[in-house]
Structures are given as C-alpha cells and as structure tokens.
Amino acid sequence: MKIAIIGAGPAGITAAYQLSKKTAQVTVYEASGQVGGLAKTIDLWNQKIDIGPHRFFSDDKRINDLWLEVVGNDYEMVNRLTRIYYKGKFFYYPLKPIDALLKLGIVEACICFMSYVTERIIPTKNTTHFEGWVTSRFGKRLYQVFFKTYSEKLWGIPCTQLDADFAAQRIKKLSLWEAIINGLKGGKNNTHKSLVDEFAYPHGGTGSVYERMSTTVVANGGQVLTNTAVKQVLIENNKAIGIVLENGETHYYDHIISSMPLTLMVQRISDVPEKIKNLCNNLTYRSTILVYLKVNAVHLFPDNWLYIHSADLQLGRLTNFSNWVPHINNNQKETILCLEYWSNYNDDFYTKTDQELIALAKYETKQTGLIGNAQITDGYVYRIPRCYPVYSTGYKESLLPVQEYLTNIKNMSVVGRYGAFKYNNQDHSILMGILAADNILNNTEHNLWDINTDYENYQESSVISKTGLSKN
C-alpha cells in the first residue's frame, strides 16, 4: 500500500513508524522544517529546549512499549516539581495541605473549606461548563483561586463559556478529597495523571523520540519530507485518493492519514457540503507565543515549570529547562526560561513584535521574583499558530457532524491534536498513531475519535520506571 501522512507530529510520525516496519510505502509531508510537531526539540544558545514543557507519562502498555522501543535506555526519570504562583506566593501542585493552609492564611483557608462544604450541601446545578464542573468538585472559592484566572488566560473566554469536556479530559475524576489524600501520602502509589510526581524524559529532549522514529521510517524505505506543505486532500466518490501540495503537485495514494488542522482540511476538500463548512467555522483554535530568555545564572529555582495564576501578569506558564535532564544543557552556565503566552491567531497580542514580547517577558519574569538580580542576556520568540482546540460551550454540536462526515470518507484517517480537534497529550497522540496504523495493516476498526474521550479503557496497565516497564 502507498500511504501519505500529513504532519510529522507525535500522531503522524508514530503512524509512519508503525507502518514502515511492515510492507507499506510511507511518505510523510511536514510543513515545517522539523519533525515532532508541538513536541519538537530545538537548538537554542548551544542548548536543547522543547516547545514548552512536555512530560511523558502513560498507564497504557502499548504506548509505553513503543516509547521504550524507540528511546531504549536514553532517558532519565525526572522528579516533577511544579508550583502555582498566586498573589506573590508559590503553592505546591499537586496540593500539599499544610503548605496551602500556611500560604493561604487561616481566614482564606476557612473560606475555601466552607465553600467546599457548601458545595456538598447545595451542589452546583449547571456542570456543563468548566466553572460549574470544577466548582462541583472543589468548591467555588478554590475554583476562583486555583482554576479561573489560569484557564481564562489560556482560552481567552470566560470559564462559563468553556465546555466541561476540557475539565473531564484534563482533570478527569480528580476531586478535592483525592488531592488532599495524595498530599498526606506524599504522592506515594498515586496514578492520577494530574498528580504523578515522576516522569520519563529522553536525554535528547522530547523531540528526539520523533526524530528517531523519522530516521527509522527513512531507513525502512519511507520518505519524510519537511518544508513540504499539503494544500488539499483529494476525494473522489467519497474516497480519499491523493493529495495536492502547496506547489501544485498531485500525488495519489491508497490511504491518507491527516493531522492537518481539522477545520483547514475540511474547508479545502472539494465538494464538501456547505453545512459542514459552516460548522467548521464555529470551531476555533487558540495560539501560543513562547518567549525564551537566556539568564546568566544557574540554580535559579527548583521547579520544572510553574503555573502563573496571578491576574496582574499576562504570563501563563514558565518553564526552567535546567531542571529537566542535564544532557540538554550541554554544560552551559546559563539558564533558559520559557514563558508561555496565549492569544487568538493574528490578534493584537499575536502580532506584537519580537522586541515587544521579549521586553514584556523580561518585565514579568522580574515581577515574579524568581531570578532575583540575575541578568537576562538574550531573548527568542517562537510562535505556534492554532495549537489549542477551543472547547467552547456547545462545540460538540458543530464537531460531531464534522466527525461523522469525515468518518464516512473511505481510506482516510484523522489523528492528533490538530487533526482530530482533541486536546491531546503526547500519549494520546501516540496511541492514535498506533491504532491508525493497526486499522490500515490489519483491517481493525479502532474508533480514533474515542481516544482521550474514554481513555480509561486500558488493555493492560503499566508505567515506565528507570529499569524499564513495571506493572502498575
């Protein structure tokens, strides 16, 4: 079979890797100059850094087996330390009850507790949006302190306009009681993803996983074409038959796997029903701006990353790459910090000049007090357009008919965060790639839309440790 794969992010390159090990002839088309998608690793100031913080953790043996097959022994287990910055104070995340109590103060802590008790007695009725869903599990006050500001920075809409699906996928079954028990146990024997305090990280950065997959695809006779954008998927008699590149070239294939943004792909299909096109117009993506700062100091603070909940800062998340694995720092004496900002594509913030963004990042970093008097010697801006699918309330009313339309097109699979309009982690996208390849090679009928919707359905549970795979 001849198979085209649009996009070399975790889902696309995983599918290519799996297919290339069999008899399939695989060609991967990647619009950028490097594989890895949102999980790529780039070189900057003689160090390696990721496109934001990307920890890998999965309970699924299929995913972990594949990851270890690719990475081998070239990884370390990283002890996760993340905190929340709120009103000039740093709160451990996951929650440590005594720490939270002391930093909130007895009055605020009592308000939070009474708010939680009130929620148990008089539950929030509307849990269809993010605010109601979180409030029902943590109480109104804790929602306001630790969820509201950060979430509204990320999505750019009030939490009452954000669908509860986002919480269900990211927070899942976590409740205040579970978080407290985890804190009292010191995180031992915990498997809830939001609370896991250790994760596997490759020596060469997250992107090295997908670079190795790409090398294997080529070694097996496939092609990985970077800087090669796809303009359109060709559909004939309700069957995908090929692609058209941005340069006008047409190539024909037996199957197409697409991780192109779902809305963009659908709108470019010829003869797509007008209703489906209009529904796609209701689906939007949020964009990310990463500002990297080179700080002339080491051991600035111990966190892998911090969540910035203070409303007076535009900054949403701050990563310290010196606290991951030493291999990526290349013995440099400077620290690279990554500051994340979010905006709508091409709005006033997104179109700020690099100099304006670097100046803002320098100012806000100083405001946190995290670097003291250390000197910031350089800055670099990296923009990621349309990378977060926005789960605005009622989004399913638009998405489900589009999914149904795409499902009925033969010889085509859509995967990944972009392609499936799913807020995936790496493990979700890797699983999409594994199962998409399995569908093609073995005529299985895995429903790729279900991944990261009902994701607790593991075949066999396991976790990665320093010695390899361990039963969970």
The pLDDT, as a whole number, for residue 2 is: 96
Query: Helix or strand or coil: residue 437?
Result: helix
Q: Which residues contact 380 (CB under 8 A, 6 or more apart)?
A: 44, 45, 291, 292, 354, 358
Question: Does residue 224 sit in the same domain as residue 248?
Answer: yes
- Last-in-domain residue among 137, 166, 196: 196
Question: Does residue 251 sit in the same domain as residue 113?
Answer: no
Residue 383: which of 415, 344, 423 has the closest Cα? Answer: 344
The pLDDT, as a whole number, for residue 432 is: 96
Number of domains composing the chain: 2
Question: Could you read off the pLDDT of 312-369 as tens digits, one per residue?
Answer: 999 999 999 999 999 999 999 999 999 999 999 989 999 999 999 999 999 999 999 9
- Provide the domain limits for residue 140: 95-196
> Average model confidence (pLDDT) for the chain?
90
- Last-in-domain residue among 163, 196, 229: 196
Question: Could you read off the pLDDT of 201-215 as tens digits, one per residue?
Answer: 999 999 999 999 999
Residue 267 in any domain: the answer is: yes
Per the model's pLDDT, the better-predicted residue between 417 and 101 turns out to be 417
Question: Does residue 230 sit in the same domain as residue 174?
Answer: no
Question: Does residue 103 sit in the same domain as residue 22?
Answer: no
Q: Which residues contact 158 (CB under 8 A, 6 or more apart)?
A: 131, 152
Question: Does residue 151 sit in the same domain as residue 7?
Answer: no
Question: Could you read off the pLDDT of 228-260 as tens digits, one per residue?
Answer: 999 999 999 999 999 999 999 999 999 999 999
Question: Could you read off the pLDDT of 4-56 as tens digits, one per residue?
Answer: 999 999 999 999 999 999 977 999 999 999 999 999 999 999 999 999 899 88
- Last-in-domain residue among 165, 196, 227: 196
Residue 38: which of 323, 344, 399, 383 has the closest Cα? Answer: 383
Residue 311: how many other CB atoms lie within 10 Å: 13
Residue 256 in any domain: the answer is: yes
Residue 372 in any domain: the answer is: no
Question: What average pLDDT does the segment 408-412 reach?
Answer: 96
CATH code for the domain in which residue 423 is found:
3.50.50.60
Question: What average pLDDT does the segment 387-394 reach?
Answer: 93
User: What is the DSSP annotation of 168-203?
Assistant: HHHTTT--HHHHHHHHHHTTTT---GGG--EEEEET
Both tokens of residue 33? 């100059």
CA distance 438 to 417: 19
Question: Does residue 131 sit in the same domain as residue 99?
Answer: yes
Question: Does residue 170 sit in the same domain as residue 111?
Answer: yes
Residue 83 in any domain: the answer is: no
Residue 403 in any domain: the answer is: yes
Per-residue confidence at 457, pLDDT binned at 50, 70, 90? Answer: very low
Question: Does residue 408 sit in the same domain as residue 448?
Answer: yes
The pLDDT, as a whole number, for residue 437 is: 97
Q: State residue 238 phi and psi, 5-degree precision.
A: 60, 30
Question: Does residue 191 sit in the same domain as residue 225?
Answer: no
Burial of 459 (0-12, 13-18, 19+ CB in 10 A): exposed
Residue 400 in any domain: the answer is: yes
CA distance 113 to 332: 46
Question: Does residue 150 sit in the same domain as residue 272?
Answer: no
- Enter the DSSP assignment of 94: S
Residue 214 in any domain: the answer is: yes
Residue 314: which of 90, 142, 154 has the closest Cα? Answer: 154
Residue 458: pLDDT over 50: no
The pLDDT, as a whole number, for residue 38 is: 93
% of the chain exceeding 90 in pLDDT: 76
Per-residue confidence at 59, pLDDT binned at 50, 70, 90? Answer: confident
Residue 310 in any domain: the answer is: no
| Range name among 97-111, 170-184, 229-243, 382-396 with the lowest pLDDT average | 170-184
Question: Does residue 142 sit in the same domain as residue 223?
Answer: no
Question: Does residue 149 sit in the same domain as residue 25?
Answer: no
For residue 53, cis peptide bond before it (omega within 30 degrees of 0): no
